[in-house]
Amino acid sequence: MTKAQKAEIVAAELERLYPSPRIPLDSVNTFTFLTAVVLSAQCTDRRVNEVGEKLFALADTPEKMAALPLAKIRAVIRPCGLYETKSKNIKALSKIICERFGGEVPRTFEELESLPGVGHKTASVLMSQAFGVPAFPVDTHIHRLAARWGLSSGKNVETTERDLKKIFPKDKWANLHLQLIYYGREYCKAHTCKTPETFCPMCKKLRRK
Ligand code: SF4
């Protein structure tokens, strides 16, 4: 089976399983969405949403967040883990958005990636989910699935992103990103399925052809 054939099967099956994938992180505006994505590193969406609700009640704009004492941000986001780094980054990026970007979350990869705590994946999530610009954020779930399904060599996340962008049409990237995350969480738990009987539905489908 060629990569293109596999991609077709994967896209159809994901569409069948998750026809309208919702963005799992709650937010009230682009700034709170960015903050939620920063909080989500090594944390569950559920925890981020609980913490986000408390944090955004105190500060839902970069101005308010920059004015919040660091100790307060740290205390509120503590349940998310990595709170020392995340609190510093949230405070610093809020200040930069106010001073350099007129209080608006910037809309380019370069500007987004210049913010503390915002790497290429986070910037891609913003571009894709907040600004509607085609981007394909690749996290560890997606990286693993793409390798298992033979859609990418699985060398690193950069290669996976490049390979996935080649085989899927641009207008599907935003949904596929979410669908792959949902699939990975539901079926593929960082273990290796050793025998065909234990394969998940997608792996069974891909092997059958
Ligand atoms: S068969 Fe196992 S390893 Fe392959 S994608 Fe499914 S759950 Fe993951």
Phi, psi (rounded to 5 degrees) for 24: -75, -15
What separation in Å is there between the alpha carbon of 143 and the centre of ligand 1?
Answer: 12
Cβ of 147 below 6 Å from ligand 1: no
What separation in Å is there between the alpha carbon of 5 and the centre of ligand 1?
Answer: 18
Q: What dihedral angle (degrees, nearest 10) is formed by the CA atoms of 137, 169, 156, 199?
A: 100
For a mutational test of ligand 1's pocket, the pick from 183, 186, 200, i.e. the residue with the most ligand atoms closer than 8 A to its C-beta, is 200
Q: What is the pLDDT of residue 201?
A: 86
Q: What dihedral angle (degrees, nearest 10) is formed by the CA atoms of 199, 203, 204, 208?
A: -140
Over residues 29-66, the pLDDT tens digits come to 999 999 999 999 999 999 999 999 999 999 999 999 99
Over residues 93-111, the pLDDT tens digits come to 999 999 999 999 999 999 9
For a mutational test of ligand 1's pocket, the pick from 13, 144, 187, i.e. the residue with the most ligand atoms closer than 8 A to its C-beta, is 187
Name the pTM for this structure. 0.92
Ligand 1, closest atom to CA 187? 7
Tally: H helices and E strands in the chain: 12, 0
Ligand 1, closest atom to CA 199? 1
What separation in Å is there between the alpha carbon of 76 and the centre of ligand 1?
Answer: 37
> Cβ distance 175 to 135 under 8 Å?
no
pLDDT score of 26 more than 50: yes
Over residues 156-172, the pLDDT tens digits come to 999 999 999 999 999 99
Q: What is the pLDDT of residue 192?
A: 67
Over residues 178-194, the pLDDT tens digits come to 999 999 989 887 666 77
For a mutational test of ligand 1's pocket, the pick from 148, 152, 180, i.e. the residue with the most ligand atoms closer than 8 A to its C-beta, is 148
Q: What is the pLDDT of residue 22?
A: 94
CA-closest candidate to residue 31, choices 104, 137, 82: 104
> Cβ distance 112 to 126 under 8 Å?
yes
